[in-house]
Amino acid sequence: MVKLKIYDTTLRDGAQGEGVSFSLEDKLRIVKKLDEFGIHYIECGWPGSNPKDEIFFQEVKKIKLSHAKICAFGSTRKPDSKTSEDANVQALLSAGIEVITIFGKSWDFHVKKALETTLEENLKMIYETVSFLKSKRKEVIYDAEHFFDGYKANKDYALKTLEKAHEAGADCLCLCDTNGGTLPWEIEEIIGGVKACFPKISLGIHTHNDNDLAVANSLVAVKCGVNMVQGTINGYGERCGNANLCSIIPNLQLKLQINYLTERRLQMLTEVSRFISELANLPHRENQPYVGKSAFTHKGGIHISAVRKHESTYEHIDPLLVGNARRILVSELSGQSTILSKAGDYGLDFTKNDPQVKEILKNVKKLEQMGYQFEGAEGSFELLVKKATGKYKKFFDLESFRVLVEKRGIKDIISEAVVKVMVNGERNYTVAEGDGPVNALDNALRGILEDFYPQLKEMKLLDYKVRVLTEGVGTIAKVRVLIESGDHEDTWGTVGVSENIIEASWQALVDSFEYKLLKDFEKKLH
């Protein structure tokens, strides 16, 4: 079995991805999370490149790690200079980190065009930098930048660069597909060539995703016997990103049976993926394999019917193994199996030919034809089911609402909502302002209902989306409004459809309140 090490570069290579930005506190929290998860090496940045990283390398040493080693990243010395006097090399040593990753040029084209030096000088730069750091008792990982392109262009020279790093004492030689254009069979052939020349060298793989093969290339490299896999959480990275560890790790563990993570740690995978996307301030990619919200989601009626009989019919692994969950979507593609599955989630027990199931399915298809969408509106769908089955409880009735939008002067726009509702037979009336008409309606409805149902104070509107359904008719178009709400335990979506955006928003807003009240009411009953 391969003694494999996982090397995470989310905080360095991943942070170079467009839209990715981590604060100092973010980086420290990510280090703790990756250590808890079981990553072997965490590459954290380039010491001396910016003030934030300079502070980070001092702060990270205060964290007591149970598993991971922290890595500092840098380049070989500059051409025609002394390694001991090189500012970048000195910054690496000043960071006080036990593992240093150095990259050097493998491609003769890069040596001439990017470094503007000779091939011989580049070999000296590699040897002298690695040997200098080894003399300081550092563990040194050598990243052979552009190795696969270099090997294809000038095999002998690319192998010489590895030879120099090895002679200098590098602990691991990591072969990099920096431009991300290599194909899996090329990876296999080239690694085979490297191993033939250096049979006892510890090798690593570092791939980019410009041809959408970074994960495949990494797995092929493992099959070829590399000892280290480098990548990032969620595949973050420059251009099209790096090899995605959220796909590589479960493939290694569950497909190749390379078991370096405990069962408990593997179950953290989805949590780690979402944790880091949140700190990166990027939306979590929902169709991402293994960890995406859609990874084990079923929409087609035939699929759902089969999954209800046996999960393996349309799932290649149990989602719980990676901390994810199965989801059943409701749509115009739904069949009776969809309704039966969702009803079971709501504590309702139907048989397949139950008339209520057929009636619910008929209502769903009718509403979807009108423009409703229940994929992202599970709250509205649950209310629909419970209304059809007599499990619904009415908490308030709308008498009327009115929304005014007034522009005062050049800048000020005031939104005001007047809402009248009946609660427990009592007529209630309130006026509230807000940042826009929907927020004003939300504030007005809360102004009444929170007196009767204090638990609504813990509910918040998290997201609001509008989709135009009838294109080409201008301002009289029908729109669909999706609202996401949440409390301290759960999140749920609700939907409204109308030619009037305020009416559509009101429908989704009312469903959100009713879902919260019904959820808490049922919890008390149990």
Calculate mean pLDDT across residues 102-122: 94
Give pLDDT, residue 525. 79
Instruction: Calculate the alpha carbon distances from 339 to 306, 346, 358, 381, 431 in Å.
Output: 14, 11, 9, 10, 40
Instruction: For strands 99-105 and 5-8, give the pairing.
Output: unpaired
Q: How many CB atoms lie within 10 A of CB 185?
A: 9
φ, ψ of residue 453 in degrees (nearest 5): -130, 85
Summarised one tens digit per residue, pLDDT across range 381-437 is 888 888 888 888 889 998 999 999 888 777 778 899 999 999 988 999 899 998 888
200: pLDDT strictly greater than 50: yes
460, two tokens = 């918040």
Task: Indicate the range of 33-42, 46-55, 202-211 predicted with least confidence.
Answer: 46-55
Average the pLDDT over each of 282-286, 304-308, 513-517 and give the range with the smallest value: 304-308
Model confidence at 149, pLDDT cuts 50, 70, 90, reads: very high
Contacts 24+ apart (CB under 8 A), 438-441: 438/464, 438/502, 438/505, 438/509, 439/415, 440/403, 440/415, 440/416, 441/401, 441/403, 441/417, 441/502, 441/505, 441/506, 441/509
Residue 103 has pLDDT above 80, yes or no: yes
Superfamily of domain 5-261: Aldolase class I (3.20.20.70)
Q: Can you give the pLDDT at residue 206?
A: 98
Indicate if the pLDDT at residue 302 is higher than 90. no
Q: Which pLDDT band, with edges at 50, 70 and 90, does 328 fall under?
A: low
* pLDDT above 90 for 279: no
- What's the rounded mean pLDDT across residues 128-135? 97
242/483: higher pLDDT: 242
Q: Kindly report, residue by residue over 341-351, the tens digit of the pLDDT.
A: 666 666 666 66
- Confidence band, pLDDT 50/70/90 cuts, at residue 82: very high
User: What are the domain boundaries of the chain?
Assistant: 5-261, 297-387
Q: What is the pLDDT of residue 352?
A: 66
Predicted confidence (pLDDT) per residue in 444-491, tens digit: 999 999 999 999 999 998 888 888 876 665 666 788 888 889 888 888
Residue 235 is given by DSSP the state G
Output the CA torsion sign for 277, 278, 282, 288. Answer: positive
Q: State the average pLDDT over residues 309-337.
A: 75
Confidence of residue 125 (pLDDT cuts 50, 70, 90): very high
Chain centroid, CA 236 distance in Å: 9
- What is the average pLDDT value for the chain, to the nearest integer? 88
pLDDT value for 477:
76
pLDDT of residue 1: 44
CA 108/CA 248 separation, integer angstroms: 31
DSSP 267: T
pLDDT band at 251 (very low <50, low <70, confident <90, very high): very high
CA–CA separation, 480 vs 275, rounded Å? 30
Q: How far apart are CA 195 and CA 192, in angstroms?
A: 5
The 3-state secondary structure of 436-495, one letter per residue: CHHHHHHHHHHHHHHHHCHHHHHCEEEEEEEEECCCCCHHHCCEEEEEEEECCCCEEEEE
Please report how many Cα atoms fall inside a 13 Å half-sphere around the Cα of residue 383, on the Cβ side. Answer: 25
Share of the chain above pLDDT 90, in %: 57
Overall average pLDDT of the 74-98 stretch = 93
Task: Give, for 42, the enclosing helix (H) or strand (E).
Answer: strand 41-43
